[in-house]
């Protein structure tokens, strides 16, 4: 079995859905499992619904209507007959969403987030499955929440691999096109959980691991894995072959083409990962597999914007030792703040972090009791794998460098501004 993942950009409109059909016609669809994200910017639109819900805003109904209107237009563009069963199926999902908004009693933001935002994937896969059937490709629509079981760490759930393996091995049919949702799972009480933003790649890897798949292909709007983001760097080049180790390094530092958690399960079973273009599906793209060298061996640039640079120094000029660092990292973990760079001296400790849950204000209150805290918001972290002097100059020219760290293979540079 092959596992394909299509992201939101690939199904953002009716033309995108039709293109997925065309891709499958070219590369085959028998014994394939499709993992599909929410359409276009639906996740962002549902986040606006969540905000209006918690703000008790009068705009809540219009926020929901915007999501409905967007999907209804796609349906009308795909299906000539508005009596098609897909309209009823999608309307039923929106009814479920509205019922939750009207009757939920939980004040837990992360719980509510997962219950609401999940409708993006449920709706997109329902539309795609009905369209494939309409075009003559028989599909099995799978509710991923019945397959991938997790703990109750909403918005960043951890997979129960044993139970998930049993569910997938027993219930996924072969020799048919399976369609399921990325990003989602469910806990022991069958409440919806999510695997972290951009977690659809991880979903594909979970299914591939449990099914002993032949390969995973992530279909993107780029030719494959590039050595730099073309939006920020001129002359970005395609990497044809990457080893698992190199891909994991790139993902760890924040390369956005491959989700950080995707590669470990694939490496364990030596399942190759391909990153290919849904615009030109017959191009070779990038292969990530065992023992493949990075070709060519050239600098790779990774950019992380909207970072926070924090500097902690001891109030009494005492050394910052292991005990201090341990307590600091414990707090980072508690407040779900991701550390991307560390640098310390005798009496100071600097970190570049990502505060995606907006918890730093609370953390700062605690840290300030024991340390002098200085911080700079909205900094940019550049990571250069296989750096050289020219690569460093490319990043540093015209920027204010706040911190630089160099190891054997990697250089990291923090600059002010975005």
Annotated binding-site residues for substrate read 43, 121
Spatial separation of the C-alpha atoms in residues 266 and 390, rounded to whole Å = 34
Report whether 381 contacts 341 (CB < 8 A).
yes
Spatial separation of the C-alpha atoms in residues 9 and 279, rounded to whole Å = 11
DSSP H or E stretch at residue 158: none
Strand partners, 383: 302, 412
Which tokens go with 75? 């349906």
Give 245-298 as a DSSP string. HHHHHHHHTT-SSS-TTTHHHHHHTT--EEEEESSSTTS--EEEETTPPPBS--
Report whether 217 contacts 200 (CB < 8 A).
no
Give 364-414 as a DSSP string. HHHHTTTEEEEEEEEEEEEEEET--HHHHHHHHTTS-EEEEEE-SSEEEEE
Which tokens go with 349? 């400790």
CA angle 301, 304, 310 (to 5 degrees): 125
Q: Which of 160, 121, 159, 161 is nearest to 143 (CA)?
A: 121
Quick count: other Cβ atoms within 10 Å of Cβ 264? 14
Spatial separation of the C-alpha atoms in residues 38 and 356, rounded to whole Å = 20
* Neighbour-count burial of 55, counting CB atoms closer than 10 A to its CB (0-12 exposed, 13-18 middle, 19+ buried): exposed
Binding residues for ATP, by number, are 5-8, 231
Which tokens go with 8? 């939101």
Q: Which of 31, 34, 2 is nearest to 200 (CA)?
A: 34
Binding residues, by number, are 5-8, 43, 121, 231
Which tokens go with 147? 């397959």
Strand partners, 220: 277
Q: Which of 192, 175, 184, 200 is nearest to 106 (CA)?
A: 192
């Amino acid at each position: 079995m092959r596992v394909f993942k299509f992201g939101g950009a690939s199904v953002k409109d009716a033309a995108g859905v039709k293109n997925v059909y065309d891709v499958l016609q070219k590369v085959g669809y028998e014994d394939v499992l499709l993992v599909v994200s929410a359409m276009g910017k639906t996740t962002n639109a549902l986040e606006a619904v969540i905000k209006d819900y918690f703000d008790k805003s009068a705009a809540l109904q219009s926020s929901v209507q915007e999501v409905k209107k967007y999907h209804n237009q796609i349906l009308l563009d795909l299906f000539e007959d508005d009596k098609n069963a897909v309209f009823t199926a999608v309307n039923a999902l929106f009814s479920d969403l509205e019922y939750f908004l009207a009757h939920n009693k939980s004040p837990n933001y992360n719980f509510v987030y997962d219950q609401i935002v999940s409708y993006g994937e449920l709706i997109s896969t329902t539309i795609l499955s009905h369209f494939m059937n309409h075009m003559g490709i028989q599909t099995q629509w799978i509710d991923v929440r019945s397959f991938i079981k997790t703990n109750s760490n909403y918005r960043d759930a951890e997979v129960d691999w044993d139970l998930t393996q049993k569910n997938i091995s027993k219930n996924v049919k072969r020799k048919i096109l399976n369609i399921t949702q990325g990003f989602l799972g469910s806990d022991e009480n069958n409440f919806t959980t999510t695997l972290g933003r951009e977690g659809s790649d991880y979903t594909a890897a979970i299914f591939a691991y449990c099914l002993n798949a032949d390969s995973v292909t992530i279909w993107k709007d780029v030719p494959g894995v590039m050595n730099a983001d073309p939006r920020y760097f001129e002359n970005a080049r395609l990497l044809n072959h990457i080893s698992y180790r190199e891909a994991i390094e790139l993902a760890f530092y924040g390369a956005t083409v491959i989700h950080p958690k995707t590669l470990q399960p694939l490496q364990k079973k030596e399942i190759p990962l391909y990153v290919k273009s849904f615009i030109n599906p017959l191009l070779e793209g990038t292969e990530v597999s065992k023992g493949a060298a990075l070709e060519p061996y050239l600098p790779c640039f990774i950019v992380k914007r909207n970072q926070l640079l924090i500097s902690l120094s001891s109030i009494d000029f005492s050394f910052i030792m292991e005990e201090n660092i341990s307590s600091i990292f414990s707090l980072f973990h508690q407040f779900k703040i991701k550390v991307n760079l560390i640098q310390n001296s005798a009496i100071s400790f600097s970190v570049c972090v990502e505060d995606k849950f907006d918890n730093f204000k609370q953390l700062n209150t605690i840290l300030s009791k024991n340390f002098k805290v200085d911080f700079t918001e909205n900094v940019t972290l550049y990571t250069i794998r296989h750096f050289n002097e020219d690569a460093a100059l490319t990043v540093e020219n015209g920027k204010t460098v706040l911190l630089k760290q160099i190891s054997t293979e990697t250089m990291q540079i923090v600059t002010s501004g975005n």
